[in-house]
Chains A and B, each alone.
Chain A
Amino acid sequence: MSFRQPSVLPGFGLTFGFTSFFLGAMVLLPLAALVLAAGSMHWSEFLAVVLSRRALGSYQLSFGASALAAAINALFGFMLAWTLTRYEFPGRKLIDALVDLPFALPTAVSGIALATVFARHGWIGRYLEPLGIKVAYTSLGVTLALTLISMPFAVRTLQPALLEVQRDLEDAAETLGANRFYAFRRIILPTVLPALLTGFTLAFARAVGEYGSVIFIAGNLPMQTEITPLLIVIHLEQFDYRGAAALGVVMLLMSFAVLLTINLLQAWSRRRQLRAAR
């Protein structure tokens, strides 16, 4: 027989057809519509919207806070994943399940919950207020909300990678004379670095697109705590569809640029690792 199936799934022709249809219908088509909507604007009109001071401020906050949130998650998510994979303690399963909660919760609920806790008279906010730390209605609150909702992405990406790092490797490093820090830097970190970058990327992507949770805690002051998705919604509420689309296109391009950079970085680090780590 010349038509031997290599696997249970149908052949390449059919699977590739489905892949392109699916990607096209679900991802590319709506994005094309977005670009088209923005394209109907005049060039100067477009620039006026996307380079307005308010828009520039919102990009800075959106991408800055998202990058910060993803970085925080890469660090603390690593610790969390480490604790969950390395240690056996009572309540481990419970904590493991808690990690997924931000996935399941409607983001607006997370936002309301954060606002309740960190508002001026909230459970924690009232103790931070005398110290001069304001969380609600500041960029700090935005970062906090973005950290919360993107946390599961970092943890869940790192967990399987950490499971792969065998104990024996650390034991081997130790008998060879390496202290814990050295073993971590030379053995563990290089092994999980690709997963760490993926986790960072996913968390960042999730945070950039976040809207629901932020609006409750951000206070939405233009130039201060207004994120780009919110600015888009504001344009929509004023029936300025083309302005909204213009901002959307900018976000799209910037996100794509960031993700591409990280992916290239990742590929480069994998190649470098394969060549040898110095």
Chain B
Amino acid sequence: MSITLDQVTKLYGGVPVVNDVSLDIGDGELFVLLGPSGSGKSTLLRAVAGLTGVDHGSIALHGRDVTRVAARKRGVGLVFQNYALFRHMTVADNIEFALRVRHMRARARRARRQELLRLVSLEGMDERLPAQLSGGQQQRVAVARALAHKPEVLLLDEPFGALDAKIREELRRTIRAVQRELGITTVLVTHDQEEAFTMADRIGIMNLGRLLEVGAPHELYSRPATRFVATFLGAANLFLARRTADGIRMGAATVAGGEPPGSAREHEVVAVVRPEEVAVAASATGLGERFIACGVVDEMVFSGALERLRVRLTDGAAAPLLATMDAAATPYVEATRTQHEQRAFELHRGQEVALGVRRVHVLPTPLSSFTVCAASAPAAEALAREPLLAALAARMKTRIAIRTEPQLGAAQAAPADPAPFVGATVVSCEPHAAQRAEWLLRHGAGEVLVLPANAAVPQRVLIQWLDPAVREATLAVSASVLRHLPAEAVQGAEMPTGPPSGEVAPELARRLAEAQAQMLMVGVGDIRRFAERFAPLLDGGRWPVLIVHRAAP
């Protein structure tokens, strides 16, 4: 492996900007770090270069641990967005800078310089000053300069950011060609997904300091694992669907899901449908089994090869299953059509159409949506407006449903609504919170979030399971939440489990009180005497607690 990052974390003022990143980059690979601005990708690159220290974890280049090694001894070449050429030196002196530092003889320096200038197609520009070159040429000089000392790793920090489209494409091709010719391991940082697709052998996607997913471009595009990646890499419609024994039920249709259903239990999942996988027809019969809902064309944009559509769903029966970021807003579906499809069926704004789905990808995320549950409708609505819950739902691009259960928490009563509990059920931290949580767990809720009023966005998340059988589920749910929070995860120590020593709740409460803005993820397998055991933690508690329950098989 050329570059190995192991649990790298970088804090700025206590907040992780690079959060627990582990990554292996192979020899000669062109790896693209992709993410929105502020996702920590540049900081990670600077950490690899040695210009920024790390707070935890280690960095190895070609098997040599360089975590504590100064940048100038790491043997990397770095290219900056603004070129960072030495303006008082000629092109020749810029390129030879690293060679002079190493006291290389003039003749050898000149030979190396000419070789590099040929590589970036700038022969004969030796005596120019940077100010006499165009932006694209300056960046070529910067690339040549970064390669002069034959670094083992080439790092490029948004190298095309300051260039216009045409030059950008040309330079991309040059850099790709240089990289292939030298076979040098390269990391490129960008926020431009098209750039990532055209350049990368593999892409790593970062958000909020975390490396969410790593994979080949087509893999990440067709089978993303997280909501963020699904929507950041190209456009995507996110639907809340049901996984049933027959497949994925979305709106009116049941579509064969990618993977076979893991458990017999019907549950809610997040389905990704790319705009190009949405079929548009005049009527439902034209779509057959793939039909999911009807809608009205709201917006049509012509963009060269493709036509982009925004279709407002009108089908009342199907709409609730299809969620957008804001539950209150009208659900839209985005679709793109090729020229060929446009000719076969011409559309105009305001036209009624039927929508179908050609291909569905189900995200493996265990947290699909939130349902707030309270004894009265006003209480439930107030809970739905809680800032932490609203923030989580917005970041997860999911909805908050409202459910009123007048008998919530009453030991003998059954739920008033026969529908199963789907997604994470949210209850408030009032007295009897533990009792209510137990009631929900007994009636089939897999995840219960107990939420105090005005809870802060957590900075630390404690993860704890009380039964080895729920370890995996707890970690999966925790990872799903942590992807959307700039928080540090702390895995709990081994805990006494089982009913005899049931005093875990006070211990957890004590640990939560140790620092500000903590959140607890707790996995439980056995829910006997749950209310009694967890009352000290939950009743009137001050911390958000997400209870993950999986019944023993």
Contact = CB atoms under 8 A, between A and B. Distances in A.
Given A177-B101, A178-B101, A274-B129, A171 B72 contact: no
Contact of B97 (A166, A173, A274, A278): A173
A168 interface: yes
Given A169-B86, A276-B89, A174 B71 contact: yes
Interface residues of B, number: 32
A177 B88 contact: no
A273 interface: yes
A176 B82 contact: no
Interface string B20-46: 000000000000000000000000001
A276 B74 CA distance: 29
B402 to A, nearest CB: 47
Contacts of A191: 87-88
B71 A175 contact: yes
Nearest to A275: B90
A179 B89 CA distance: 18
Contact of B82 (A168, A182, A187): A168
B77 A175 contact: yes
Contact of B80 (A172, A274, A278): A172
Interface string A153-177: 0000000000000101101111111
Nearest to A278: B93
A125 B134 CA distance: 61
A8 B105 CA distance: 55
B208 interface: no
Interface in B69-114: 70-74, 76-78, 80, 82, 84, 86-90, 92-93, 97-98, 101-102
Contacts of B46: 171
Contacts of B127: 276
A171 B88 contact: no
A230 B19 CA distance: 68
Interface string A265-278: 00000000110111
Nearest to B82: A168
B80 A273 contact: no
Contact of A179 (B49, B72, B87, B92): B72
A212 interface: no
A209 interface: no
A175 B102 contact: no
B149 interface: yes
A278 B90 CA distance: 10
Which of A166, A174, A175 lies at the interface centre, i.e. has the most chain B CB atoms within 10 A of its CB? A175
Which of A172, A173, A274, A276 lies at the interface centre, i.e. has the most chain B CB atoms within 10 A of its CB? A172
B97 A171 contact: no
A190 interface: yes
B149 A176 contact: yes
A180 to B, nearest CB: 9
Contacts of B51: 171, 174-175
B101 A182 contact: yes
Contact of A172 (B50, B78, B88): B78
Interface in A186-221: 186-187, 190-191
A208 B387 CA distance: 67
Given A166-B84, A168-B80, A276-B127, A175 B90 contact: no
Contact of B49 (A175, A190, A276): A175
A177 B86 contact: no
A132 B494 CA distance: 71
Contacts of B74: 175
Nearest to B52: A171
Contact of B78 (A171, A187, A277, A278): A171
Contacts of A186: 86, 97
A175 B80 CA distance: 11
B72 A174 contact: yes
Nearest to B149: A177
B146 interface: yes
When A and B form their complex, which 10 residue pairs have the shortest distance between CB atoms, in order from nearest? A168-B84, A176-B98, A172-B84, A175-B78, A177-B101, A276-B90, A273-B88, A174-B71, A177-B72, A168-B80
Interface of A: 166, 168-169, 171-179, 182, 186-187, 190-191, 273-274, 276-278
Given A173-B86, A177-B102, A276-B129, 8 more contacts: A168-B80, A168-B84, A171-B80, A175-B74, A175-B146, A176-B98, A176-B149, A276-B92
18 contacts: A166-B82, A169-B86, A171-B71, A171-B78, A171-B84, A173-B97, A174-B72, A175-B76, A175-B146, A176-B77, A176-B148, A177-B73, A177-B98, A178-B101, A186-B86, A186-B97, A273-B88, A276-B90
